[in-house]
Amino acid sequence: MWWLKDVWVIDPSQKLSAPRDVLVQGGQVLEISSSMTEEEVLEKAQGESIDAVNGQGKFLFPGLIDVHTHLREPGQEDKEDILSGSRAAVRGGFTTILAMANTQPVIDNRALVEFVRRQGERAGYAHVLPIGTVTKGMQGAELVEMADMKEGGAAAFSDDGKNIQNGEVMRLALEYAKLTGLLIISHCEDKYLAGEGQMRRGVASARMGLKGIPASAESVIVARDLLLAEETEGKLHLAHISTVESVDLIRRAKKRGVNVTAEVNPHHLIFCDEVLGITDTVLKVNPPLGSRADREALIEGLRDGTLDMIATDHAPHTQAEKARPFAEAPFGIASLETALSAVCLL
């Protein structure tokens, strides 16, 4: 039996955030109390050995859920695999993670959905829920067999890593996903506006001499997808929101009753483009770090409920890839193990 003494317990279901004594037996919470005496604990242990842990300065909370990770398997196991990713998740406090579909090959059929699910079960750490692509081959043209993939264990559908540029395909995706009861997760980026940009367009990109991505590359797709969700009454989730304009669009859509949720990433809450230097490839992410005003709008959006959740967008690469010059390094940051401690600083 474990006796966690004076640990800070956070339990939203009980509206609890306070120091407590906690007894754990056989992997399950036996009791939570404002305080326990040694005699009380001995009585409950009924002869079982007791491991007492000083919980001061520590936190205890229900397992976290991360709705946005890139576990790289199948096809890019040199960066990450489901075993290492799910192990990193539990180290960071996450007990359930959703795995994006932009692997090699992409997860666009039931067999691959079942492969990811089984690999998560074999790993034995966090619960791994596979996300299937919206379109075959992530080509943005032909929809996948959503109902069949749901039966195989798909938790949602997303072409994350790419945006579905064809508005009619996106409209149909929302219609068909609605029939399955699952949602579409949108990577909001107009590829023509984004072009070959390497960071957010602004003073920092000019200082570094790098081609920038305008904030409108995100917000024009956010506006489109919100209108399509309103028209179809489909379930829409907007990934990695990063701009002032996007937050405002989502806030107004929610007031109209649009069925939309949205996430923000830890790095967008903590950093802005001012901190970037030419060697800071670890912070080269997509969408890129925005301005100070963007960061402040994201924090306010999270506080007032416009943004529903924090999701890591955990997207690891090899050290060699991230050691390249900024313009050549890939987008992505590994954050499953650090996300919780990072956002606690806000």
- Condensed to tens digits (0 to 9), the pLDDT of residues 289-306 reads 999 999 999 999 999 999
Q: For residue range 78-117, what is the model confidence (pLDDT) as tens digits? A: 999 999 999 999 999 999 999 999 999 999 999 999 999 9
Residue type, 83: L
Tell me 6's DSSP state.
Answer: E
Mean pLDDT of the chain: 97
Give the E-state strand segments of the chain in sequence order: 2-11, 16-25, 28-33, 51-54, 59-60, 64-69, 94-99, 127-132, 156-158, 184-186, 199-200, 212-213, 236-238, 260-264, 309-310
| pLDDT, average across residues 27-55 | 91
Over range 15-30, report the average pLDDT.
Answer: 93
Please state the pTM of the whole predicted model: 0.94
Contacts 24+ apart (CB under 8 A), 331-334: 331/284, 331/285, 331/286, 331/288, 332/70, 332/284, 332/285, 332/286, 333/267, 333/282, 333/283, 333/285, 334/80, 334/88
pLDDT, position 46: 87
Catalytic residue list: 313
Between the CA of residue 99 and those of 119, 125, 185, what are the distances in Å? 11, 14, 12
Q: How far is CA 3 from CA 33, 57, 93, in A?
A: 11, 15, 20
What pLDDT shows up at residue 321? 98
Domain limits of the chain?
Answer: 2-60, 64-343
Average of per-residue pLDDT across 236-247: 99
What DSSP state is assigned to residue 257? T
Quote the CA–CA distance of 85 and 63 in Å, as a whole number.
16
Distance between CA atoms of residues 343 and 189, nearest Å: 25
Range from 207-211, 306-310, 341-345 carrying the lowest mean pLDDT:
341-345
Is the pLDDT confidence value at 45 over 90? no
* The predicted structure's pLDDT at residue 27: 87
How many angstroms separate the CA atoms of 326 and 277, rounded?
Answer: 9
> Residue 140: what pLDDT?
98
229 Cβ contact list (under 8 Å, min separation 6): 174, 235, 236, 253, 258, 259, 260
> How far does Cα 204 stand from its chain's mean position?
26
CATH of domain 64-343: 3.20.20.140
By the 10 Å C-beta count (0-12 exposed, 13-18 middle, 19+ buried), 89 is classed as buried
Q: What is the pLDDT of residues 137-178, one digit of tens each?
A: 999 999 999 999 999 999 999 999 999 999 999 999 999 999
pLDDT score for 219: 99
Question: Which pLDDT score, from 0 to 100, does residue 143 have?
Answer: 99
Predicted pLDDT of residue 346: 83
Position 9 confidence tier, pLDDT thresholds 50, 70, 90: very high
pLDDT band for position 135 (cuts 50, 70, 90): very high
